[in-house]
Amino acid sequence: MRDHFIKRLTNLAENDPELVLVTGDLGFGVFDNYRKVRSDQFINAGVSEQNMTMVATGMALEGYKVFTYSIGNFPTLRCLEMIRNDAAYHEANVKVVCIGGGFSYGALGISHHATEDLAIMRSLPNVTVLSPCGLWEAMEATEALASTPGTCYLRLDKSVGDDAPKNNERFEIGKLRILKEGNDVTLLVTGGILGEVQKAAIKLSELGISVKIVSCHTLKPFDGNGLVDLVNNSSALVTVEEHTICGGLGTLVAETLMDRGCFPKKFMRIALESGFSSIVGSQDYLRAMYQMDAVTITKRIEKLLDE
């Protein structure tokens, strides 16, 4: 996702002199072409992410569109006060970009595991929250946020699913996308873990279970009407996310349905349930360890439908 993000951002910057990218002392190889063609729209703030956010806010209040960029928790949790008090409160045009959502940097330990970010960022007033599931959504989300007023959060993953658009489909912030039709169970997914969900769907189809897959690339604003339509046409609803079970997609879906008095016949949340991710390893390893891989997703859905 990172490479597709910067490719689209470079194209946007070439046509918009007010667009600026601020990095927290990383991504130099990735940004080589961007710096070559738009060096006057690139700032390295150093290993000083909080200052990076304040600089971005100041520039935004002077009329710039500023993207801040760093790994996992560094541009978000480390900068939470600055995002809240400086950017969001003033509705500044700051786009916070996290590369490494979930267990993307699994081998580097808890400091690099971004597993609470969606809950925290969506709780902030005036913040748009996007978590694309694949390469197309990552590029389209980048462009959409560049033209979206106010403070935004873009969560990028190292892994991806197949989110290819159908026909002349247009990306819309705040709209669910049906990636696969099915009748027995509806899987709502956010982020690159879509790939595991799609593998699980294949396994389930071999067992005679028809799966609908829905991309929830936007958590705020959320498509409540689209969600209700899904529930009314599904016998079971399952959310999948590489994030803590508290406050993320599963919580968002549950609270949205409760507020509307709409209750699925069967409902399950698949997410990180064990508190902090206290072990290290590759993204695939950690998904398996925390029961979020395709094999476990398949088994849990089988059990849900048998109950």
Long-range residue pairs from 31-37, CB within 8 A, at least 24 positions apart, any chain = 31/6, 33/6, 34/6, 34/9, 34/10, 37/10, 37/13
76-128 confidence digits (pLDDT tens): 999 999 999 999 999 999 999 999 999 999 999 999 999 999 999 999 999 99
Secondary structure class of 291 (helix, strand, coil): coil
Q: Which pLDDT score is estimated for 15?
A: 94
Q: Which pLDDT score is estimated for 68?
A: 98
Q: Which amino acid is at 276?
A: F
Beta carbons within 8 Å of 281's beta carbon, 6+ residues apart: 106, 107, 289
Q: Which pLDDT score is estimated for 131?
A: 98
Q: Which pLDDT score is estimated for 27?
A: 74
Largest CA distance in the chain: 60
Cβ count within 10 A of residue 164: 11
Question: Rounded distance, CA 240 to CA 269, Å?
Answer: 6
Beta carbons within 8 Å of 41's beta carbon, 6+ residues apart: 13, 17, 19, 20, 21
Beta carbons within 8 Å of 83's beta carbon, 6+ residues apart: 53, 76, 94, 96, 121, 124, 127, 151
Q: Which pLDDT score is estimated for 26?
A: 84
User: What sign results for the dihedral spanned by CA atoms 268, 269, 273, 277?
Assistant: positive
Q: How far is CA 104 from CA 38, 54, 84, 233, in A?
A: 28, 27, 25, 34
Question: Rounded distance, CA 67 to CA 14, Å?
Answer: 15
In the chain, DSSP finds a helix count (H) and a strand count (E) of 11, 12
CA angle 59, 10, 176 (to 5 degrees): 90
Spans in the chain with pLDDT lower than 70: none
Secondary structure class of 133 (helix, strand, coil): coil
Residue 154 near residue 128, CB atoms below 8 Å: no
Q: Which amino acid is at 173?
A: I
Q: Which pLDDT score is estimated for 29?
A: 85
89-99 confidence digits (pLDDT tens): 999 999 999 99
Phi/psi region, residue 25 (left: phi>0; alpha: psi -120 to 50; beta: rest), is left
Question: Half-sphere exposure of residue 153, counting CA atoms within 13 Å on the CB side?
Answer: 33
CB environment 250-261: b (16+ within 10 A), e (fewer): bbbbbebbeeee
